[in-house]
Amino acid sequence: MSKSVTFRRAAPAACVALIAAITLAGCAGIPGSGGVQPGLPDINQAEQLVQFSAFGPTAGATQEELVRGFLTAANSPSDDYSVAREYLTAEYASQWDPYFGVLIWEGSRPYRQDGDQAGMLSLSVVAEVEPDGRLLPTEVGESTELRFEFTRSGNEWRISSAPAGVILDRSTFEAIWSQHQLSFLGPENRLVPDTRWFLSRAALSTEIVGALIEGPSARFEQVVRSGFPQGVSLTKTAVPVENGLARVDLKGEGLNNPEAQQEILAQLQASLHTVPGVSRVELLVEGTPVRDATGQASPISPNQPGAKLAGTVDGKFGVITTAGLEPVSGVSAALEALDGDAVALSRSKTVAAVRSGAGVSIVEDGFTALVDARDKLLAPSVDDDLWAWSTSAADPTIIKIASAAGTQHELRAPWLEGLDVRAVRLSPGGSLVGVLVDDGAKSYVLVGGVIRDSTGTPTALTQEADIEMWANGGALDFDWIDQQRFVALTQQGSAGKVTVGGPGVFATEQGSVPDAREVFGGGSRTQVRVLTAPGELFAPQGASGWQRTMSDMELLAKRG
Distance, in Å, from the CA atom of 129 to the CA atom of 284, rounded to the nearest integer, reads 32
Q: Residue 393: what pLDDT?
A: 98
Q: Residue 487: what pLDDT?
A: 98
Strand pairing category for 102-106 and 166-169: parallel
Distance, in Å, from the CA atom of 7 to the CA atom of 15, rounded to the nearest integer, reads 9
Q: Where are the beta strands (DSSP E) in 493-533?
A: 495-501, 508-514, 516-520, 529-532
pLDDT in tens, 138-150: 987 778 999 999 9
Strand pairing category for 466-472 and 442-452: antiparallel
Residue ranges, the chain, pLDDT below 70 = 1-51, 292-306
Q: Residue 32: what pLDDT?
A: 34
Q: Provide the 3-class DSSP secondary structure of residue 348.
A: coil
Q: Do 168 and 126 meet the contact criterion of CB atoms below 8 Å apart? A: no
Q: Residue 47: what pLDDT?
A: 53
Alpha-helix runs per DSSP H in 243-358: 258-272, 332-338
Total number of residues shown for the chain: 560
Q: How many other CB atoms are there within 10 angstroms of residue 296's CB atom?
A: 12
Beta bridge partners of 119: 113, 148
Q: Residue 389: what pLDDT?
A: 98
Question: How distant is the alpha carbon of residue 486 from its chain centre?
Answer: 9
Going along the chain from its start, the domains and CATH numbers come out as 13-175 (no CATH), 203-289 (3.30.70), 310-559 (2.120.10.30)
Q: Residue 524: what pLDDT?
A: 86
Contacts of 28 (CB under 8 A, 6+ apart): none
Question: How distant is the alpha carbon of residue 103 from its chain centre?
Answer: 17
